[in-house]
Amino acid sequence: MNSEDDDMTVNAETPTRTPTRAGPEADAKAATDTGATSDLQARYLAGVRAELADLPPNELTEMLDDVGAHLSDLAAELGPDADLTARLGTPAAYAAELRAAAGYPAAPVSRAPAGSSMAGLALAGLVAATVFVTAGVVGRSPGFLLLGLFALLLAVPVLTREDRRPGGGGPRRCRTAAGGPVRHRHRAGVGVGRPALATRPPVAVGRGAAQRRGGDPGLLRDRGGRFRVDP
């Protein structure tokens, strides 16, 4: 692990080859600002970027900026040819750990479009609300009336949220337009009717367990003994 070669030999000439997932600006910024300029670093960084592609562009840029600096610092300490994966785990594992600790929502996984089931839930809620309220009014039963209101409460947020989402089943994004506090938005989003996001704790450390899904848990165990936020 400890290389004798600890002089700073980050090659500034080597161009980075990172696939553009977050737009060319972000890429250029990551390449020039982070100094993650060796091939190994660039490849690792690209791997992490691919795993975090669902983050808002600003947040992604900032985070990758930090990651790039991290890789450079490691290269300075361990030598430019150091095996980053031995030290940090795979890019996927690194990204998962980062995601959990940063409180980002778990990576999107392909699944049945959420839109249809959500719409169904909302519709069922509205129907139930109508039925219960009618029954409550007709039968002068406050219990039914309450049930109806409850169903309405359940259905309306789902409906309004559906309106704001452009494409039902696409990759989920954190809703921070300007790279603002991601956690708060998601906390605000915790409500009825959106299980995928709502059940996820917005802040990861110590509560990471529920956040992980989709990734390969096996990867996380590769780094024997090292602390990670995920289970």
Considering only 22, 26, 35, 106, the residue that binds other proteins (CB under 8 A) is: 35
Considering only 44, 94, 132, 144, the residue that binds other proteins (CB under 8 A) is: 94
C-beta closer to other proteins: residue 35 or 148 = 35
- Residue 43 region, left (φ>0) first, then alpha (ψ -120 to 50), else beta? alpha
What's the closest the beta carbon of residue 23 comes to other proteins, in angstroms? 20
Rounded to the nearest angstrom, the gap between the alpha carbon of residue 129 and the centroid of all alpha carbons in its chain is 34
Verify binding: residue 222, other proteins, rule CB under 8 A: no
DSSP state of 107: P
C-beta closer to other proteins: residue 62 or 162 = 62
3-state secondary structure 96-146: HHHHHHHCCCCCCCCCCCHHHHHHHHHHHHHHHHHHHHHHHHHCCCHHHHH
Residues 59-88 interacting with other proteins (rule: CB under 8 A): 62-63, 65-70, 72-74, 76-77, 87-88
Interface with other proteins (CB under 8 A), residue total 47
Residues 156-215 interacting with other proteins (rule: CB under 8 A): 180-184, 203-206, 208
DSSP state of 103: T
Verify binding: residue 15, other proteins, rule CB under 8 A: no
C-beta closer to other proteins: residue 40 or 69 = 69
Which residues touch 21 (CB under 8 Å, ≥6 apart)?
49, 50, 53
Verify binding: residue 118, other proteins, rule CB under 8 A: no
Which residues touch 191 (CB under 8 Å, ≥6 apart)?
157, 198
- Please classify residue 87 by burial: count the beta carbons closer than 10 Å to its beta carbon, then call 0-12 exposed, 13-18 middle and 19+ buried: middle
Verify binding: residue 36, other proteins, rule CB under 8 A: yes
Verify binding: residue 125, other proteins, rule CB under 8 A: no
**Six token digits for residue 108:** 């999107």
Verify binding: residue 42, other proteins, rule CB under 8 A: no
Q: Give dist(CA 141, CA 139) in Å, integer.
A: 5
Q: How many CA atoms lie within 13 A of 148 on its CB side?
A: 17
Verify binding: residue 51, other proteins, rule CB under 8 A: no
Verify binding: residue 114, other proteins, rule CB under 8 A: no
Residues that bind other proteins (CB under 8 A): 8, 10, 33-36, 62-63, 65-70, 72-74, 76-77, 87-89, 94-95, 97-103, 180-184, 203-206, 208, 223, 225-229
